Amino acid sequence: MEFKKLTSSTGAPYFEHEDSQTVGARGPVLLQDFILQENLAHFVRERIPERIVHAKGSGAYGKFTVTHDISKYTKAKLFSKVGNECKMFARFSTVGGEKGSADTERDPRGFALKFYTEDGNWDLVGNNTPVFFIKDAKKFPDFIHTQKRVPKTNLKSATMMWDFWSLNPESLHQVLILMSDRGTPYGYRHMHGFGSHTFSMINAENERVWVKFHFKTKQQIKNFTNDEAVKMKGENPDFAQEDLVNAIENGDFPKWTMYIQVMTEEQAKEFRWNPFDVTKVWFQNEFPLIEVGEMELNEIPNNYFAHVEQSTFSPSNLINGISFSPDRMLQGRLFSYRDAHRYRVGVNSHQLEVNRCPFAVNNYQRDGYMADSSGYKDAPNYYPNSFDQIKPDSAYKNFEYDLDNTTVANFNRNENDDDHYTQPGLLYTKAMNPQDRENLVSNIIGSMKGISGPKKEEIINRQLCHFFRANIELGMKIAMGLQVNIDMNMMNHSKSPE
């Protein structure tokens, strides 16, 4: 077979399709990586006007209350004292389905939160899982394409899903979560939420720590089995929306407790895995949960379209005292999310009620589609000027830091960081009970039976190798369910992390 060169949209051949250009292996992603920019910018413009991902969603307003003091970690005003409150908006969603799809589909769930603070809006845009399928945003368009529809038939395809997963063993951790009963939560009220990425906090002494955000449901975890989810998909495709609306309208306000995990910069250097890898978790016995506050949802918006459909979130919407990390997926999302909303809702989407900061907004952005000039009227549109009173405040200077590496390259995301099996293996053996494991195996077999075509055997065998490497028992049960004869070479190359 004669291979064709991979090229940019203008026909220029390039090599680095999967690894973003960074400063050092664990440094930040560079804006000059034009392939990353081109692929993400094109990807978020593939559909109009529906969201490419997270199209089917539900939303509600509520409040966040600080219950524990974490001011030693962050100078964010919201967390400056116990008892502080702010209004917030939450949007929950499925990921892969269209707007009219069922919200009980097997899928991760978006868990997007907007905190309206006096220092601006803070968006924490996560999922109901602590990990994700891939560790570099450059791979995101390819991954999502496998979760959507085949261009020719316009049908979902188990073949392309498992083909991609089998070729990307970094996805195994999230695949096991997705294929467990956690992949079919009983609505949105009965699931945990996670920031998923590693973020940073900076305190008043300008000291930085790395953090992960957790939201534990107070309604207790409750999931559908696969059969129950399929049944509900036919009976009520809006089950999760109805469940949320009814609970709030009846005064049964859902609540979550917010926690953080904290890792020092010194601990990050010694951590067994890359602490900025979103396919990995930080073990809670090493980095215990620290309670922060409570989130309560108590108001259904009076107009779904105006508030839920037009809501926009971006992980780049951060507040003083909370910042990013060199997590490659996060760094790509800092660009892509805002770009998606500029395209989908408009360059002035931040002026809409659900997205608008209720406190002061002073800048020099003007005009564009649907511009609302009521906030600035005839004020100058340039800086510096001799007429207005807007001045940059040095108290909000960016955190300054040195990088450990000055080499610019497209570092292989898996070089010296290719343990894709230990944590999935522990998820199977330690976090799941026997019924969870039984359901997981059944769900995987049911899904993989949908693989078809001339590459069927190759895809199945490749994926089985990953299961075996995570846990021998897991691999054996799935192979038996698929009626695959086990090759001893596969067994010899597959070692359980236990």
| pLDDT computed for residue 9 by the predictor | 66
Local confidence band at 497 (pLDDT 50, 70, 90 cut-offs):
very low
> Range with the lowest mean pLDDT among 2-11, 58-67, 288-297, 404-413?
2-11
Pick out the residues of the known binding site: 337
CA distances from 191 to 194, 221, 254, 441 (A): 10, 5, 11, 21
| pLDDT computed for residue 442 by the predictor | 98
> Given 42, 68, 121, 127, which residue is catalytic?
127
Mean pLDDT of 204-211: 97
> Given 54, 192, 307, 341, which residue is catalytic?
54
pLDDT in tens, 138-185: 999 999 999 999 999 999 999 999 999 999 999 999 999 999 999 999
C-alpha neighbours within 13 Å on the C-beta side of residue 161: 19
Q: Is the pLDDT of residue 472 over 50?
A: yes
> Range with the lowest mean pLDDT among 108-112, 400-404, 409-413?
400-404
Mean pLDDT of 475-481: 97
What's the CA gap between 316 and 114, in Å, rounded?
A: 12
pLDDT in tens, 213-231: 999 999 999 999 999 999 9
Local confidence band at 397 (pLDDT 50, 70, 90 cut-offs):
confident
CA distances from 317 to 59, 114, 123, 338 (A): 19, 9, 5, 9
The answer for residues whose C-beta is within 8 angstroms of residue 377's C-beta and 6 or more apart is none
| pLDDT computed for residue 498 by the predictor | 41
Q: Is the pLDDT of residue 26 over 80?
A: yes
* Active site (annotated) includes residue 127: yes
Local confidence band at 188 (pLDDT 50, 70, 90 cut-offs):
very high
The answer for residues whose C-beta is within 8 angstroms of residue 5's C-beta and 6 or more apart is 13
pLDDT in tens, 71-99: 999 999 999 999 999 999 999 999 999 99
Q: Is the pLDDT of residue 433 over 90?
A: yes
Q: Is the pLDDT of residue 489 over 70?
A: no
pTM: 0.90
What's the CA gap between 269 and 274, in Å, rounded?
A: 8
| pLDDT computed for residue 490 by the predictor | 58
Pick out the residues of the known binding site for heme: 337
Local confidence band at 128 (pLDDT 50, 70, 90 cut-offs):
very high
Domains annotated on the chain, with CATH: 57-157+177-357 (2.40.180.10)
